[in-house]
Homo-oligomer: A and B are copies of this chain.
C-alpha cells in the first residue's frame, strides 16, 4: 500500500504523476492519493475579493487564517476543482479514481482549533473563528471498503470536527495520517523540490537518507512549507509507515523514481 501526496499546482508535473500512478495501478499496486491546493485557493480568494491571510503562531509556524468564508473557498477549490480535475485525469488514464474530502463519511476527524495564539507586529494576540483542525482519526474502514471494490481514493484536505464543522487541514499531515491509518509501506510526498536539502535551495545538497530516529533534528534544515512535511513524516513513521520519501514531482516517472529511492528517504 502506497500513499502519494501531490503538492499544489506549483511546479509539479501533474501529467507525469498521473501517468506514473496509472502504471503503478496496472502493476497491481494499491494506492491512495492526497492532494493540496493552497496556491490555487489564494488565487481564487483574491478573485472573489476575500484575499488570503496568513498568521504566525507562537510556535513559529505560519498558517492560513481560515474564517468561514475562507473555509468555503478552500472547499470549493480543493474539493470542487482540484479534486475533480485529478479524478477526471486519472479516469482518463484508466484509473477508477473516486474523490472524497475528509468531511465525507467522517473520513478525517479533526479537533477544531477555534482560537489560535498568534504573533503580530511582535505582540501576541488570540484569533477566534478559525476553521482549521488537528487531525485525530482517519476512517480507514471507508478507504478499505472503496479499495476492496476497486476504487482509488483521491482525498482533498478537509476534515470534520466531532461537532460537525468542516475544517481546513494541512495536506501533508493529512497524507501522513492517512498513510498511518491504512498501514502504508510508503508515503511519497511529491513537490517542486528534489528532497530535503541541507543548504536550501542548493539542490546538490539533497539529503539522501534520514534515520527515523533523527527526523526531528532534520527540522533544522527544513525551510517554510518543508517543516510541515518533516513533521508529517515523523507522525507517519510513528504510526507504523515503513518509509517516507520526499521526492521530486517535476520529473518524468516521479513515483517510480521515488520508489527507487530518489529523493530524501526517511526510514
Contacts and interface: CB of A to CB of B under 8 A. Distances in A.
Interface in A137-172: 141-142, 145-146, 149, 151, 158, 160, 163-166
Contacts of A100: 98-99, 104
A98 B91 contact: no
A44 interface: yes
A87 interface: yes
A45 to B, nearest CB: 11
A8 to B, nearest CB: 15
A105 B152 CA distance: 8
A49 interface: yes
Contacts of A242: none
Contact of A75 (B80, B92, B163): B80
A76 interface: yes
A166 B78 CA distance: 16
A76 B80 contact: yes
A113 interface: no
Nearest to A105: B98
**Protomer copies:** 2
Nearest to A90: B164
A96 interface: yes
A166 B72 contact: no
A81 B84 contact: no
A87 to B, nearest CB: 5
A32 interface: no
B91 A160 contact: yes
A145 B148 CA distance: 11
Q: Which of A75, A78, A142 has the most CB of B within 10 A?
A: A75
B81 A72 contact: yes
A170 B104 CA distance: 23
A20 interface: no
A106 interface: yes
